[in-house]
Amino acid sequence: MYKIRIYFLLTGVFLFALIVVGQLFIIQIIDSDIYLARAEAQYVQRNYHLYDRGDIYFQTKEGELVSAATLQSGYLIAVNPKYVTDPDEVFNGINSVIEIDRDRFMSRLQRGGVYQEVASELRESDADEIRARGLSGVSLYPERWRFYPGGSTAAHVLGFVGFQGDEHEGRYGLEKNYENVLDRPGSAYKVNFFARLFGNIARGFSDDEDVGGSIVTTIEPMVQSFLEYELGKIQEKWGASSLGGIVMDPSTGAIKAMALLPTFDPNNFASATSNLIFSNSLVEGVYEMGSVVKPLTIAAGLDSDAIRPESTFYDTGRISFDGYTISNFDGKGNGIVTMQDVLNKSINTGVVHIMQQMGTDLFADYMRSFGLDEKTGIDIPFESENLLMNFESPRLIEYATASFGQGIAITPIGMTRALAALGNGGFVVEPYLVERIEKSNGEIVQMREGIFEVNRAIREGASREISRMLVNTVDEALLHGSVSLPRHSIAAKTGTAQIPKSGERGYRDDAFLHSFFGYFPAYDPEFIIFLYHIEPQGAQYASQTLTDSFMEVAKFLIQYYGINPDR
């Protein structure tokens, strides 16, 4: 009886083993293509449910959130070349619904294997139509992808998501800078339970895994759109090679708008002809800014008591140092002038005089105190350092040219921050674009608790005095006072800078950088605007090319935010 039981048990084990071997034979030999296709698709195919990434939001002046970057749902098409018996029929069937490249499709078939993606980001209606055709070897899989509802709006702020080698991640802008927040671990590819378990046990089961989240920016969508509209008008009229603008709260550093031309659509970034278009030159570019630096020099002179607004200077139109001669923009002298005249008439020799009254060391210390010797710390990647070698030179000529904005190169965001200190009471603030992080677990992380002041550059009294002088410049000198607003004070100044020659000393005679900054209300400013463009055609001075657009943006902000008259 005992032996019979042993025989039955061995027979059962043998039959079970035979069944297992038979099933393995079927899976590995007979139906290998089917299961291989499933396996590859399971491990490689991007997943509708698992692919996840936090959103990016703009924020209206009322605090309402507007989607700037999110996920969109749809389908991708994959083919198993082994089951495509008629490539032309399959191509025509797909191409009749969505346009695909024939050569690319055929090359995918020639690669063989069991899973080749031929199209992605299909709408559900298109997927249904292709599915109804019953094309042999064709499969549709749900997927998600990054989508930017505003198209090119604030493209240089947002950046985009793309492949960096084998990693799918943020490549520029906020997408890159906040990758560790926006990325949802384990979401980029579909991996089954066992693959996740054995491929990354720590990530699969860790209680400490970062849950990720979404970010809420300081960008106000209406302000952003209006700034981009005005930049478009400047580009159309003056044909600059590149141009940009910033709108910032000068007291907090909150960026309300940041835009560049030429721009791109992050939904279709692959169509860009050069990667250079993705760079945010407001943060990455350094330029000799010209006369917008003069208010910094004058403010330093006021704060150090080297000058007063009514101090006088005899202007001969030119001054020489170290074998070089500095002239005014028109080559003419103005005789006895006040410091207000120096600002209104943008007299180069006048600000050189202020630098001399201060002394080179003190002058350089003040320029550094405006934050020009360091990065701003703005939360956008690849910020460049300003070039201030002039302040290390033993030659007086280097300090002289720096006093009116030549020979030193500054990022537009660094220039905006320095100029903001003129109006906000003398403080250097840290510009920023993200107000808060909203984590997936419901936690809210505020990125700014109050105002983040880096240091004080000038006293409050000097801030008020230079603001008064800049208001006078707008009221009396800017286009002869024709653009001044009777009920609102605006402190502003233009800048026209020569562009250095490429690869050699000296400056070009046929190319200029125009800039324009201003803040308002002048004595308690809510906004500072900075505009610039490179190589505008048909006009030499920034007052000709940028005044109208600056004033249009200023008037829009006054009306949109309901800023009360201050005079």
Token pair listed for 64: 């309402």
**Smallest Cα–Cα separation from 531: which of 143, 258, 161?**
258
Decide whether 56-217 matches 221-560 in CATH topology.
no
**Phi/psi-derived region of residue 5, left when phi > 0, alpha when psi is between -120 and 50, beta in every other case:** alpha
Element (H, E) at 45: none
Residue 250, preceding bond cis, omega within 30 degrees? no
Model pLDDT, residue 164: 78
DSSP string computed for 145-195: EEE-TTTTTTHHHH--EEEETTEEEE-SHHHHHTHHHHB-TT-SS---HHH
> How many Cβ atoms sit within 10 Å of the Cβ of residue 10?
10
Which residues are CB-neighbours of 369 under 8 A, at least 6 positions away?
428, 455, 456, 457, 458
Model pLDDT, residue 329: 86
| CATH assignment, 221-560 | 3.40.710.10
Model pLDDT, residue 322: 86
DSSP string computed for 418-481: HHHHHHTTSEEE--BSEEEEEETTS-EEES-SS--EEEE-S-HHHHHHHHHHHHHIIIIIGGGG
Which residues are CB-neighbours of 517 under 8 A, at least 6 positions away?
292, 415, 416, 419, 492, 493, 495, 528, 529, 530, 531
Give CA–CA dist 17/306, Å, rounded: 98
Q: What does each of the 567 residues of the chain score in pLDDT, given as a tens digit?
A: 555 556 555 565 555 556 655 555 554 555 554 444 444 444 445 444 457 899 999 999 999 999 999 999 999 999 999 899 899 999 999 999 999 999 999 998 888 888 899 998 899 999 999 999 999 999 999 989 999 999 999 999 999 998 877 778 999 999 999 999 999 765 544 344 343 334 443 443 444 455 689 999 999 999 999 999 999 999 999 999 999 999 999 999 999 999 999 999 999 998 888 999 999 999 999 999 999 999 999 999 999 999 999 999 999 999 998 888 999 988 899 999 999 999 999 999 999 999 999 999 999 999 999 999 999 999 999 999 999 999 999 999 999 999 999 999 999 999 999 999 999 999 999 999 999 999 988 899 998 765 566 789 999 999 999 999 999 999 999 999 999 999 999 999 999 998 988 777 778 888 899 999 999 999 999 999 999 999 999 999 999 999 999 999 999 999 999 999 999
Model pLDDT, residue 163: 80
Model pLDDT, residue 52: 86
Which residues are CB-neighbours of 511 under 8 A, at least 6 positions away?
498, 499, 534, 535
Model pLDDT, residue 9: 58
Are 160 and 175 in contact by the 8 Å Cβ rule? The answer is yes
* Domain range list for the chain: 2-44, 56-217, 221-560
Model pLDDT, residue 455: 87
**Smallest Cα–Cα separation from 492: which of 541, 535, 543, 457?**
543
Model pLDDT, residue 440: 87
Model pLDDT, residue 109: 87
CATH architecture of 56-217: Alpha-Beta Complex (3.90)
Give CA–CA dist 537/206, Å, rounded: 60
